[in-house]
Amino acid sequence: MTVQSPLSASTSSRGLAIGIDIGGTKVAAGVVDEQGVVLAEQRRRTHSSDARAVEATIVDLVRELGSVHPISSVGIGAAGWMDLSGGTVLFSPHLAWRNEPLRENLERLLERPVMLTNDADAAAWAEWKFGSARGESRLVCVTLGTGIGGAMVMDGRVERGRFGVAGEFGHQVIMPGGHRCECGNRGCWEQYASGNALGREARELARANSPVAQEILRAVDGEVDAITGAVVTELARAGDAASIELIEDVGSWLGLGLANLAAALDPGMFVVGGGLCEAGDLLLEPTRRAFSRNLTGRGFRPAASIKLAQLGPAAGLIGAADLSRSPLTNGARQS
């Protein structure tokens, strides 16, 4: 009698998939069932400058998790642009992947179907299927972190655009001649409505020795460069007036950008995720006010709802795992 390895697919185990979320500093992997429940999870440090080392980390994680759980497929979500087939990483800003045939490499090593997707697409899919946007036919997801990530799920399918690079919402120019963005332009939305923007504004107040910034300075023992969006968010939740005001400013910019997206895309719902969501209603209330104030045709059209993401940091790996079961939903061909 042949004993099947736990990593081998079987009729009874097709519901289990591994999702992998690759960031600039860590790789998170989890075994996910068909209900979006993470059954087991592991993390490793990212060797961002070494493409082969990242591949080796992925293989190690899949083999470790697959030694305990029977796995049918692997989904990988990473920042960057993937080709429409879900096989090649065209460009990743934080990793050493340039036109990297990652699926082919990993399928050879793992002997399992592998699918690639953008990390924001994966998170949006997870929120649509298992999180805040269940039942919504046209979803736009915006993730507030270092910058602004974006993704769309339209009528049960991830909408990736003609060339697979849709969703770069953070680089819409919202303030001509404004802050310089890493993309090369000035005034991009993510320079005003992201975690980086929140930290930058707080540091400017602190460097000016503003009397309203004293609580922020005390929180970092006077080290201005240690002020981040996460620090400001924590202080705002604790009631610091200056931090609350800074988050309200970010929320106003966020609402303006969402109104622009509503004019172009007309979704039924926006889901806002990322680290800044820890601010909760401190962020969401000014966002909704600015959205209503700037919405084209306001008062004479239905308006999209705006909700916070529900699944937190696990959304990316949950979505990647689920998409790997049905690659066509991500615009990718079947393996």
Q: What is the pLDDT of residues 125-164, one digit of tens each?
A: 999 999 999 999 999 999 998 889 899 999 999 999 988 8
Average pLDDT over residues 97-113: 88
Q: Which pLDDT score, from 0 to 100, does residue 2 have?
A: 27
Same domain, 160 and 234: yes
Q: Which pLDDT score, from 0 to 100, does residue 145 have?
A: 85
- Is the confidence at residue 252, as pLDDT, over 80? yes
Same domain, 77 and 203: no
- Is the confidence at residue 98, as pLDDT, over 80? yes
Same domain, 233 and 275: yes
Same domain, 162 and 147: yes
Q: Which pLDDT score, from 0 to 100, does residue 171 have?
A: 92
Is 2 contained in some domain? no
Average pLDDT over residues 276-294: 96
Higher pLDDT, 245 or 182: 245
Is 1 contained in some domain? no
Give the C-alpha separation, 321 to 69, whole Å. 14
Is 3 contained in some domain? no
Same domain, 151 and 269: yes
Same domain, 319 and 271: no
Higher pLDDT, 72 or 15: 72
Same domain, 153 and 293: yes
Is 153 contained in some domain? yes
Give the C-alpha separation, 141 to 157, whole Å. 13
Give the C-alpha separation, 125 to 157, whole Å. 8
Is 144 contained in some domain? yes
185-200 pLDDT tens trace? 999 999 999 999 999 9
Residues 6+ apart with CB under 8 A from 204: none
Mean pLDDT for the chain overall: 89
Beta partners for residue 158, in sequence order: 153
Give the percent of the chain with pLDDT over 90: 70
Is 289 contained in some domain? yes
Same domain, 113 and 83: yes
Same domain, 159 and 298: yes
Same domain, 169 and 258: yes
CATH number of the domain residue 83 falls in: 3.30.420.40
Is 5 contained in some domain? no
Same domain, 320 and 272: no
Same domain, 89 and 205: no
Among 86-90, 277-281, 287-291, 306-310, which is the least confidently predicted range? 86-90
pTM, two decimals, is: 0.88
* Residue of 116, 123, 84, 129 lying closest to 331 (CA atoms): 84
Is 215 contained in some domain? yes
The beta strands (E) that lie in the chain are given as 17-22, 26-32, 38-45, 73-78, 81-82, 89-91, 98-100, 114-118, 138-144, 148-154, 157-158, 269-273, 305-308
In 274-308, which positions are buried (b, 16+ CB within 10 angstroms) versus exposed (e)?
bbbbbbeebbbebbbebbeebbeeeeeeeebebbb
**Number of structural domains in the chain:** 2
- Residue 28 lies in domain: 11-124+315-330
